[in-house]
Structure 1
Amino acid sequence: MNDRSGSAQRLADDAAAILEGMSDGFFSVDSAWKFVYLNGRAEGLLGASRAALVGKTLWEAFPALAGTAFEEVYRKAMREHGAAELTAYYSDHRRWYEVRIAPAAAGLSFYFRDVSAQVATQQALRESERDFRLMADSVPQIIWIVMASGEAVYFNRQWEDYTGVPIVSSTPAEVANDFVHPDDLGPTMAAWAEAYAQQRGFHVQHRIRSRTGSYRWFLVRAEPVMDAAGAIVRWFGTSTDIHEEKMVKLALEAAERRHAFQQALADRIRPLLDPEEVAAAACAMLGQYLGAGRVVYGEADDGGMQLDMKPDWTDGSLASMGGRRLRLEDFGMAVSDILRAGHKLVIDDVLRVDAAQPHLPNYMEAGIRAVLAVPLVKEGRMRAVLSVHDGAPRAWSAEQVAMAEDMVDRTWFAVESARAQAELRAERDQSRQIFDSMTEGFALLDSDWTVLQVNEIGAQLARTPRAALLGQELWTAIPQLLGSEVERLYRRVQAQALPATLEYAQALPAGGTAWLELRAYPLPGGRLAIFFRDIGERKAAEGQLREADRRKDDFLAMLAHELRNPLAPIGAAAHLLRVGRLDPDRVRHTSQIIGRQVDHMTHLVNDLLDVSRVTRGLVELESAPLDLRDVLADAAEQVAPLVQARRHLLRAEIAPEGAMVVGDKKRLVQVFANILNNAAKYTPEGGSITLSLLAQADSVCVDVADNGIGMAPQLVSHVFELFAQAERSSDRSAGGLGLGLALVRSLVELHGGTVSCHSAGPGLGSRFSVRLPRLAAAAADAGPDAAAPAMAAGGQGLRVLVVDDNTDAADMLGMVLEGLGHQVAVEYGSHAALARVRTASAPPQVCLLDIGLPDIDGNELARRLHSRPETADAVLVAVTGYGQESDRQALDPAFAHHLVKPADIGRLAAILDGVARAARS
């Protein structure tokens, strides 16, 4: 065999190997249709061996091909020596074959495979699609398919039946724009975008326009179909008509909103007694609920031509119409006729209403563009009109109209009821209490004591879960009531059919007592309505009130005692002076007694005024950097006479380093002097008092400890309250009004500090601790204390006019000033003072004026003196018993100084000394 023949053989072998390895069947025939070659796959598909087929013609081997599509295609390919493809059913094998024919050198080559399964699948798909369309067209829902690209590829027949428009290839956005209600369009597209983004189901309710132009509600659902990679291929969705259910639901929701509003309105107007307050409250609630510009309730006159507008409500965009009398004809007779006929007036925009055009100026003046007015007709006559206004066009919904219609009747009833209540208030008190108690605990008991109803508040007050009460016998659910006052009350009310009330102290499981007020009312059939509320706060307040009343009585007794003490020596001294047979030493001694007692009374009055001003926040601190050691030294100096008189040992434990704070030196001295004075008063003679100061990083602590009478725990907890004092003996030897420590706490807190008290018990002494913020060393730069003005020396020769309707006070002040060397004139009234100024040869240089003068008050007198040429340059000083900051601010600007009675003679002398120096210069 030569090389060429060998190569040909190898090619033939390779071709045969390829053909045998094919998954398709293969055979070839010559031009006479005789089988030349079959591969193994062809043998299997044809059900015949090569030996049985080779040499036979195709038609001999398979006579069933005659007359079929196979024969026609095969013969045409042979004639034209061309290629062909077909898929046909071979009945002999009852199978479908896909055949591809290719021309060969001496005939045809056939490639074929069994496609019966694929054909069956395609047929099933076509049948399934046909069944799907039949089913989709038969269901009431709209069924649709949208591709991932957004193209709408299928809508069932219901879509066209409902909308009247066949679907075209559109995106969901286009469909929504064309058919979805404008109010629902935004939420729909937002839900669609979210579903796409999160690759989850799409659910929405919206309205779709029908072929008639009306809208109905549909529930729209769609689920995505994913490919193997998890990407959305298409959406399968349904749109189900839920209009009737939706309208029922919306109606129920509207009814619930209306009921809730009505309940809120009832709660709001229930406590109101004034009919106009009722109308205003109803208008306010309706306006806020509707989001309107103004709501006004007007009562009509007998002819129905005018409305008396009651207090209204506005949101601020429209002016109030309350208190006005409105003529309906000013807004058009058509409007007034509609209302008088008992019909509601609904105008979305007055500019579009022909009947309103001639009266537009009146509408515009009132700020009305949209109006909803509902009349109330009783006994054939219009009695009132409820009007809702808006300053912009507005489409009033049916729910809003219904709300206004309901409101006008309710408002009328409430207003009329309020009027009746004003006349029958006494008889109505009990009913009102029952009505008001609906917001409290409530329980309904059957005649056999079964708990039929109980609200949540009632269950909480009963300290029993609601589920454990409902349907249970009361005595079983709350066994502690058996044999109690409550059981006796309930049984008595049931037996006598008379309501009764009980205040009941309920023992709590964790200890303590809860006070309840129970009100039981008999109902038909032996049932009981029980209303109850927690009155613990009221009981506590009553206890506090009793304690405050007791302390007030104690304080008044203390005040009377403290004021009588100095009055006795003052009265005796005055009697001695009236006798007039005293030598100079006795006169001086008597004057000293009067001065000391007046100082004591002044101190008492100043304490009262101080605690009032401080506790009401009317004190302004003159703050500056201070070394607290200097403050404590001044305070100790003030109490030194009392400490020495009671032979106390006062020890000072003061840290050597600086203790700088920011504060008002006068007030801080007052704080520590009060604490030291308190320690001295309550420590028996010969006792010891320790004053210590400790400076810490950010605070300074001052302790005042004594070994005195101490305090019981109940007094320690109240020691800083007004009028609180330890028990005193009947002689009141310690004195005071119980104001000092209350003043201490208020002043310390004004300085940003704290004060506390500790006592181990009666007889064991007390310790008071004051802690104040410490001033950093870098910021400590306290200036020198201002020196107090010294009393002016006599002999200055100023001309002074004293005006006071209290003759004793005026005369005494005049004598004191004369003792200081001044020329004094005294008058007891404003007119007399003005007359003296006009006739005096030398006008006064200083005028001391009382403010509370009977004929012309001190402010007016100051203005007149200041306006006169004789006294235009005189220094005016107010000397008055009014010492509040507000009193100072109310003084006429003509006053240069303000002194509180009794006048501080040292300060007055300093003022006069300053005037004298200015006159000399």
Structure 2
Amino acid sequence: MQALLQALSARLRNLEGPDAIAAAGTQLLGTHLRANRVTCCTVNERGEGATVWWSWTDGSVPELKGSCRISDSCGGATYRAGQIHRVEDSEVWPEGTALREEFRQSGIRASVRVPLFKLGQLAAILGVSCAMPRRWTEAEVHLIREASERIWLEVERARAEAALRESALKDAFLSRLSHELATPLAAMRLWIEFLRSDPGRLNGALEALSQAEQAQSRLVRDLLDMSRAVKGTFGLMLDVCELMEPVSAAVKLMGPTAQQKGLHVEVIQEDPPLVNADSKRLQQAISHLLSNAVKFTGPGGHITVRLEGAAQGALLSIQDTGQGFAPDFQPHLFAPFRQAEEGPSRTQGGLGLGLSLVRRIVELHGGWVSGESPGVGRGALFRVWMPAYAFDEDAPPEPPAQAGQGPGLADVGILVVEDELLTRQGLKAVLESQGARVEAVSSAAAALEVLSGRVFDVLLCDIAMPGEDGYSLIHRIRAMPGPSARIRAAAYTAHMREEDKLRVLAAGFQLYIPKSVEPSRLSQLLSGLAAAAAR
């Protein structure tokens, strides 16, 4: 018995995850006792139900899965009292038929089950079972109890260590987040102060402010996309496209930064097939990969972007001569919030979200992404594979795309409702520069007053406003008498979750526009809304 317990402790001590510990522990115990099945079950907080967390078998009986109620007739009182529940033959069990039926359904006749506790509460049950009747010796029962408690101790140790690692990762992420948020804000503040003292440097200041705003927007977009990915609400708008289109757009986007560092970016295209994809999401993924290549490659380095056909799909390779990464970081390469460098002395910024988003986007398209490096200082290679578009020969041809961007905003009447003064003034200026007739107000009450006497083509409305929000306003507008009740409405909001979009559309708005949208895109969206109102 001691030999097994020593081997068990030695084996489990160096394992990290609870699953790995349960797998090794149950296998060792089951094999030593020549049992047919060993299971680990977690018990709910009320102590009334158990869920199979791990199940090992010797192959003669099926693995146990699912949940069950812990009734007194099946050992509940025994477990809660901290006592071992021993059954030598369920078919002659004297305490009712419930346990006999449970054993028949799971294919066993004999078992020893050990209750395991955490902070005085029943937390788990480890069971050793046999398909045939068995007379358990006291030595076997003692061994099962000792082994179960050691396995449970190691499981709890692994969980505590994992919680500490997760806490450390969260702390590191929050530290990076505060730094990444503060950096563009500090740049904006400095340039604004500089402009006040030297208005003659307007062009340079505007360029710096634009770069800082773009950095802030990318950060917020990545955070929102990561949230959507975690909740499973990260959607795609698929269409047939040439993969070279998002690749070229991403290369063009990163071109100025690469040029500033003196990097040589080579693009090679070798007749890849068409793919069914969301071009904008793919551009986002490829931009993250190229951004990393540019960021981690030193001045004068080389980046090769190759696009080719491979294995009934398209293969994109991005190889650089940059920093690379150590082999032990490979398993964490696509994990969220992880970076090869941590701490205040890290040489590169970022939140550690980019590669995680890349994997999410690519896998949603049915593809895969991989990354490899010979080692630190030896560059890196990332590959993205996408399945080729399968043509439907019987499908009717798509109608030709309409040229142009719509009629524009010339002479379109727009009512803007925005409580934030600077945003309200900015919207009015941008839309008037496109030829629109704009009335801008700061509250729902003011909007209702204006609409009672005038008719507009489009309503552009903030959602979060003091006193009365945009949802309440649109409900009241739809209940008004006259043509204002039918005004085409767009919500202009900083609430950018998928559920926010659905709520906006359900409330009575025809269009959802996030505040992160570019001014040119805002004008285009409102132009389309106005054109729909005119039809």
TM-score, normalised by the number of residues in structure 2: 0.69
Counterpart selection for 2:496 from 869, 883, 896: 883
Query: Match for residue 365 of structure 2?
Result: 751
Residue 817 and residue 653 in structure 1: after superposition, are their counterparts in 2 closer, same or farther (change >3 A)? closer
In 1, the alpha carbon distance for the partners of 2:394 and 2:143 equals 62
Task: State the structure with more CA Rg.
Answer: 1
SS of equivalent to 2:339: coil
Spell out, residue by residue over 1:168-197, the C-alpha distance to the aligned partner (whole angstroms, 9 max, x if none).
Answer: xxxxxxxxxxxxxxxxxxxxxxxxxxxxxx
Assess if the C-alpha contact under 8 Å between 1:655 and 1:694 holds in 2: yes
Deviation at 1:732, TM superposition (A): 6.2
| One-letter amino acid matched to 1:571 | R
Amino acid at match of 2:371: C
Separation in structure 1 between the aligned mates of residue 456 and residue 210 of structure 2, nearest angstrom = 28
Q: Deviations over 1:311-342 (max 9, x none)?
A: xxxxxxxxxxxxxxxxxxxxxxxxxxxxxxxx
Match of 1:590 in 2: 205
Q: 1:589 to 1:813 in 2, by over 3 A?
A: farther
Residues 751 and 772 in structure 1, CA contact (< 8 A), matched pair in contact too: yes
RMSD of aligned residue pairs (Cα, Å) = 3.9
Given that residues 441 and 459 in structure 1 are in contact (C-alpha distance below 8 angstroms), is that contact kept between their aligned partners in structure 2? no
Change (3 A) 1:578 1:819: farther
- Taking a change above 3 Å as real, the CA distance of residues 681 and 740 of structure 1, as seen in their structure-2 partners, is same
Q: 1:337 maps to which residue?
A: none
Is 2:473 aligned against 1:861? Answer: yes
Residue of structure 1 in register with 2:263 after alignment: 648
Q: Give the aligned residue type for 1:557.
A: S
Separation (CA, whole Å) in 2 of partners of 1:823 and 1:438: 69
Asked if the contact 2:80/2:122 (under 8 Å) is kept, the reply is: no
**Residue 267 of structure 1: CA displacement?**
5.7
Residue 843 (str. 1) matches residue 460 (str. 2)? no
Unaligned runs of 5+ in 2: 1-70, 83-94, 102-115, 129-136
- Which of the residues 549, 553, 561 maps onto 2:179? 561
CA contact (8 A) 2:239 2:277 kept: yes
Amino acid in structure 2 at the alignment position of 1:873: R
Counterpart of 2:510 in 1: which secondary structure?
Answer: strand
Which digits, 9 at most, give the CA deviation of each residue in 1:213-269, with x for residues without a partner? xxxxxxxxxxxxxxxxxxxxxxxxxxxxxxxxxxxxxxxxxxxxxxx9635342687
Is residue 2:393 matched to residue 1:775? no
The one-letter amino acid paired with 1:719 is L
Distance 1:890 1:831, change over 3 A: same
Q: Distance in 1 between the 2:374 and 2:260 partners?
A: 27
What is the letter of the counterpart of residue 857 of structure 1? D
Q: Which residue of 1 aligns with 2:73?
A: 262
CA drift of 1:729 comes to 8.5
Residue 455 of structure 1: CA displacement?
Answer: 4.9
Structure 2 matches for 1:308-347, cutoff 5 A? none
Question: How far apart are 1:911 and its partner, in Å?
Answer: 2.7
Report what 1:571 is aligned to.
Answer: 189
The question of whether the paired residues in 2 share the 8 Å contact of 1:789 and 1:910 is answered with no
State the aligned residue count. 428
Q: Which residue of 1 aligns with 2:159?
A: 541
1:14 aligned partner: none
CA distance in 1 between counterparts of 2:497 and 2:255 reads 31
Q: Secondary structure at the match of 2:511?
A: strand
Tell me the distance in 2 between the aligned counterparts of 1:791 and 1:867. Answer: 31
Structure 2 partner of 1:762: 376
Q: Is the 8 A contact 1:615 1:746 kept in 2?
A: no
CA contact 2:79–2:122 (8 Å) conserved in 1: no
Go from structure 1 to structure 2 and tell me whether the alpha carbon gap of 1:777 and 1:646 turns closer, same or farther (over 3 Å shift). Answer: farther
**Aligned counterparts of 2:308 and 2:145: Cα–Cα separation in 1:** 52
Q: Distance in 2 between matches of 1:783 and 1:831?
A: 47
Per-residue deviation, residues 884-910 of structure 1 (Å, max 9, x unmatched): 221111124521211112343122211
Partner Cα distance (2:349, 2:515) in 1:
23
- Equivalent-residue separation in structure 2 for 1:828 and 1:577 (angstroms): 28
The alpha carbon displacement at 1:731 in A equals: 7.4
TM-superposed deviation, 1:775: 3.3
1:699 corresponds to: 313
Q: CA deviation at 1:567?
A: 1.0
1:607 pairs, out of 222, 233, 238, with 222
Which deviates further from its counterpart, 606-615 or 537-546?
537-546
2:287 alignment partner AA: A
2-side partners of 1:820 and 1:890: how far apart? 30
Cα displacement string for residues 788-809 of structure 1 (whole angstroms, at most 9, x for unaligned residues): 9859867x23332222233332
Letter in 2 for 1:536: E
SS of corresponding position for 1:887: helix
Residues 706 and 767 in structure 1, CA contact (< 8 A), matched pair in contact too: yes
Q: Distance in 2 between matches of 1:903 and 1:787?
A: 23
Q: Indicate if the aligned counterparts of 2:74 and 2:99 stay in contact, CA closer than 8 A.
A: no
1:266-281 → structure 2 map (5 Å cutoff):
266=77
Q: For 1:447-846, what aligned pairs fall within 5 Å after superposition?
A: 453-456=138-141, 459=143, 532-575=150-193, 582-583=199-200, 586-656=201-271, 658-727=272-341, 730=344, 734-776=348-390, 796-838=410-452, 840=453, 842-846=454-458
Contact 2:222 2:354 in 1 (8 A): yes
C-alpha distance in structure 2 between counterparts of 1:554 and 1:785, whole Å = 51
In the TM superposition, 1:246-257 aligns within 5 A as: none
Residues 738-759 of structure 1, C-alpha deviations (whole Å, 9 max, x = no match): 1110001111111122212111
Deviation, structure 1 residue 440? 5.5
CA distance in 2, matches of 1:720, 1:552: 16
Q: Is the Cα–Cα contact under 8 Å of residues 303 and 320 in structure 2 kept in the other structure? A: yes
Gapped regions of structure 1 (runs ≥ 5): 1-259, 272-284, 292-429, 443-451, 464-515, 517-530
Which structure would you say has the larger RCO, counting Cα contacts within 8 Å and 6 or more residues apart? 2
Report the Cα offset of residue 460 of structure 1. Answer: 5.2
Q: Which letter does structure 2 place at the counterpart of 1:459? A: L
Q: Aligned partners of 1:896 and 1:807: how far apart in 2?
A: 25
In 2, Cα distance between equivalents of 1:762 and 1:565: 27
CA contact (8 A) 1:623 1:662 kept: yes
**Residue 806 to residue 286, structure 1, CA distance change in 2 (3 Å):** farther
Q: Following TM superposition, by how much is the alpha carbon of 1:679 offset from its aligned partner in structure 2, in angstroms?
A: 1.0
Distance 1:662 1:822, change over 3 A: closer
Aligned mates of 2:314, 2:161 — CA distance in 1 = 38
Q: Distance in 2 between matches of 1:785 and 1:459?
A: 76
- Asked whether the equivalents of residues 661 and 774 of structure 1 are also in contact (C-alpha less than 8 Å), the reply is yes
Separation of aligned partners in 1, 2:219 and 2:372 = 27
1:748 and 1:914, CA in 2 relative to 1: closer, same or farther beyond 3 A? closer
Aligned residues with identical type, % of pairs: 29
Q: Does the aligned pair in 2 maintain the 1:639–1:673 contact within 8 Å?
A: yes
Query: Matches of 2:430 and 2:284 in 1, distance apart?
Result: 29
Deviates more, 1:749-758 or 1:646-655: 646-655
1:461–1:683 Cα change, 3 Å: farther
Name the SS for the 2:325 alignment partner: coil
Contact 1:625 1:780 in 2 (8 A): no
Corresponding residue for residue 31 of structure 1:
none
Counterpart Cα distance in 1 of 2:400 and 2:432? 32
Relative distance call for 1:881 and 1:438 in structure 2 (3 A) is closer
What secondary structure does 1:710 align onto?
A: coil
Aligned equivalents of 1:677, 1:897: Cα separation in 2: 32
Alignment-mate amino acid for residue 711 of structure 1 = F
Q: Distance in 1 between matches of 2:462 and 2:497?
A: 15
Q: Distance in 2 between matches of 1:835 and 1:654?
A: 59
* Residue 879 (structure 1) shift: 0.8
Equivalent AA in structure 2 for residue 860 of structure 1: S
For residues 173-212 of structure 1, the aligned pairs below 5 Å read: none
Give the conservation status (yes or no) of the 8 Å contact 1:440–1:532: no
